[in-house]
Structure 1
Amino acid sequence: MRGVFETWFSENSLRLIECSRSIWEHPEPSGKEYFAVDTLRQLLCEYGFVVGEPPLAGLDTAFEAKWGDGSPHIGFLAEYDALPGLAQTTSPYPEPIEGQNYGHGCGHNLLGVASVAAAAALKTVMEREHIGGTVYLYGCPSEEIMTGKIVMTKAHVFDHLDVAISWHPGDKNRASEESYQAMLSVEYHFHGKASHASINPEEGRSALDAVELMDVGVNYLREHLPRGGQIHYVILDGGAKPNIVPDKASVWQFMRASTAQDVLKISHRLDEIAQGAALMTGTTFEKKILTGCNETRIIPKLVEIMDDTMRHEVSLPLWTENEKQFARELLENLGLNAQQEPLHHGILSLSGKTVPILGSSDLSDVSYVVPTCMLFSACYPIGTPNHTWAVTACAGNSIGTKGMLYAAEVMAATAYRLVSQPELLMEVKKSFSDVMGKTTYSPIC
């Protein structure tokens, strides 16, 4: 098997790198990833998939591609949105690209192409070995604003899959046991009464006062959050001019916790704080829920299979001295100390248990309806913080693309084991059933 996939990736790597670089050069905001979608759909057509037209599940830049027929149904999940303010060249120091507002500071140009590559490589081997089944590639937009896969899960897009497989660029190689936090994204819009702030302030009711009092209350709440709970906020609107008592003001709150139940408890407390702030200021407010996700469900058997595949079926990338020197310079320019080997060359060991981590992903909702696994692949130097110019730089150079190709081969090889060994797939399904118990999918919002 190793030889089959190595040959395929050797023959196709230049085309895959070209597509990844092209998407890197055309970064797009969430929900408007039209160039990326066209690029990935064209690539899938070249590899013989039946490629559906967007929209899917009401999302303009979501799509489905498929090949084959019957069971098992294996799905690969692609992302491709970029981040604002992270336009960057491939230099190891901050060098914004003038006139470009977005950049791939989360490496989604790599993520999308690797998922397509995994689907195409698996298809090739299944055809050659006459293995039955259906391979799907799902284009999943807007991960950075936590909507794509959540909307698609609510629309039952993934319900028919036997397994869903994804990955993410990182600084180390590992099969993921990490459970992302549940999250709720909410805007609070306060309404007061405008007046002249100097001549007749007594007639005014400041919506900005309500926002500030809410933020004070939220800050005092932090001590009493459930373990693993977090709250982040930005003020969206604080009024127009200092000499006008603001009749409108808004604050955007993110609530996170290890479980959806804890997030909902935090949300209830924030609603009460908003009510108190409105009462103290003589204002009113309305609440607008933007999005939210559950925590990730980890399926131990699936993690074990992916980890074993990483260790025994796929060769790790080899880093050149030029790439290592680039990594050292990049870390130095981030104010970080580089390790002797700044690029990871190994595989982290499994802990054998679910590991709660900080941050959230819309992949979590998928994990409630289908056994889901993912890996992290080293695409930037050890210790590099995500969502930075440094990740954008690596996502556009050979460090990122080597990690991309490694991740793609791991995903393809993991899926091959599942389609060629039905008993393994049955073990995965039993593991999923054991983890879920009587729990069924319920969107957090």
Structure 2
Amino acid sequence: MTKQDVFDRIDEEETHLKAIAREIWQTPELGLHEEESARVLVEALEDGGFDVETGVGGMPTAFVAEYGEGSPRVGILGEYDALPGLSQRVASEPDPVEAGGPGHGCGHNLFGTAGVGAALALTDAVDAGELEGTVAFFGCPAEETLVGKTYMARAGAFDDLDAAMTWHPGDLNTPRMGSSNALNSLVFEFEGEAAHAGGSPDSGRSALDAVELLNTGVEYMREHVSDDARLHYSIPNGGMAPNVVPAEASVWYYVRAPTRDEVERNTEWLRDIAGAAATMTQTEVDERFLTGCYDYRANDVVSETIWENMEAVGPIDYDDEDRAFAAELQATVPDDRIESRLADLPDETAETIRGEALYSDPVAPFDHDQQTHGSTEVGDVSYITPTGQFRGATWPVGTPGHSWQVVAANGDFGLKGVAFAAKVLAGATYDLLADPDRVAAANEEFDAEVGRDAYETPLPEDAEPPFDVTAMGAD
């Protein structure tokens, strides 16, 4: 059975895959609560003969599905969580299905579905003996809060992989070669004494004062961290009424930097400031560590395998109707936002794409030396096994992620990106399973560039998946 046969099977299943992606789009669920989204993906894999383990890492919506046996063992990562507040119909103007409800503003309805489609398409080749080894699909929840893969990694889910790959919807078809910021996500909870703010403020101790002093201290800290480091926060609880001295208050921080070491150093400094704020206000402070992740390290061998298959698959087959709707969506995006996106690209590529609403041709990798300031827990996987990642063009050029425009695209023409991504993932997995030398080269590079003992979980022993936390996204 050839790789073309694998591609043909994805074509045969495209209608079914689109239906799955559409179903997930219609029932958007927040991270760690993706019951229906995980269920539909698990059922598709079980129907295809995969052995599925659920509840991985203490998360009911995390799962691992396997087909075949032995090595090499190649993993495909998939996500399916939505974002709060981004409910949107397929329309070229803001039009929520449910005001304030969630929506797939990052394309994860396409993301997990394509990975499942790729895994299923490889089973015939395994059965025929064309491929030896194991195909593993990893259902990774709560990417938007950078939780799923980190807690799965702590549980050892990725330890036996010889290679891993994944993708993400976006506005270009291109491998991702650049790095990302590592991150810690933690909450400081202050406890003081309530009192009447007008009648007897001297008998109270303000937890909100402690939060404000912590944040002020961080503003002075910023001058002395690296240019690529980031510290940002929100105040989930700042008290209830002005005439009551707040007995409780909390502040939620993201600490980002290009390396885990710098994240840890800056986090320790942040903890010192939190303790000092508590001392100054005669309050008590507790820390709740939510999650952390590593910077992403692209493996050249796996990434080149992905690129070879992107070239073989070719562009996504968007038609005139798709391009017309994409142009309507793009017209709602400010011109400077689109130009800012084009400025990130090589000059020749930017000129080719400028003026296009949809650009579906594969774009050769170009970001080898780029350090993005966002974060992804794919980084954790990339410190455990050779890992590659690519983007698929499922929304208009220059459209920002986490927007209503992206939700609309992902429920319409973006569905065509599922088959494209599935073919690239399946083709690259096929090449790795069929060529032991390629797998060996990927691991040789990994050993030299990362090292087998490089990964230590960023999670404290007592950290538990934060089922009560949702956010607009840490990535």
TM bracket (short chain): over 0.9
Specify the code of the residue in structure 2 equivalent to 1:417: D
Specify the code of the residue in structure 1 equivalent to 2:32: G
1:374 aligns with 2:389: yes
Mapping 1:203-222, distance limit 5 Å: 203-222=203-222
| Partner Cα distance (1:301, 1:438) in 2 | 17
| Partner Cα distance (1:438, 1:29) in 2 | 34
1:93 is aligned to 93
Residue 84 of structure 1 deviates from its aligned partner by 0.6
Mapping 1:380-419, distance limit 5 Å: 380-398=395-413, 400-419=414-433
Mapping 1:315-354, distance limit 5 Å: 315-336=314-335, 339-351=354-366, 353-354=368-369
Mapping 1:3-402, distance limit 5 Å: 3-52=4-53, 54-98=54-98, 101-128=101-128, 130-311=130-311, 313-336=312-335, 339-351=354-366, 353-398=368-413, 400-402=414-416
What is the SS of the residue equivalent to 1:253?
strand
Q: What is the total number of aligned residue pairs between the two structures? A: 442
| Partner Cα distance (2:202, 2:295) in 1 | 47
Specify the code of the residue in structure 2 equivalent to 1:167: W
- Whether the 8 Å CA contact 1:294–1:443 is kept in 2: the answer is no
What is the SS of the residue equivalent to 2:58?
coil
- Whether the 8 Å CA contact 2:163–2:302 is kept in 1: the answer is no
| Partner Cα distance (1:92, 1:5) in 2 | 36
- Whether the 8 Å CA contact 1:418–1:424 is kept in 2: the answer is yes
| Partner Cα distance (2:109, 2:259) in 1 | 30
Specify the code of the residue in structure 1 equivalent to 2:405: A
Mapping 1:425-440, distance limit 5 Å: 425-437=439-451, 439-440=453-454
Specify the code of the residue in structure 2 equivalent to 1:277: A
Specify the code of the residue in structure 1 equivalent to 2:29: E
Specify the code of the residue in structure 1 equivalent to 2:436: P
| Partner Cα distance (2:271, 2:236) in 1 | 18
Q: Tell which deviates more after alignment, 74-83 or 280-289.
A: 280-289
What is the SS of the residue equivalent to 2:122?
helix
Residue 129 of structure 1 deviates from its aligned partner by 5.2
Deviations 1:355-383 (A, max 9, x none): 32121112111111111111111110111
Specify the code of the residue in structure 1 equivalent to 2:291: T
| Partner Cα distance (2:229, 2:428) in 1 | 34
Unaligned runs of 5+ in 2: 339-353, 460-475
Percent pairwise identity: 38
| Partner Cα distance (2:367, 2:315) in 1 | 23
| Partner Cα distance (1:75, 1:6) in 2 | 18
What is the SS of the residue equivalent to 1:92?
coil
Change in 2 beyond 3 A, CA 1:438/1:226: farther
| Partner Cα distance (2:124, 2:335) in 1 | 43
Deviations 1:70-100 (A, max 9, x none): 2111111111111110111111211111267
Deviations 1:205-248 (A, max 9, x none): 21111111111111222222223101111111111211111111
Specify the code of the residue in structure 2 equivalent to 1:20: A
What is the SS of the residue equivalent to 1:164?
strand
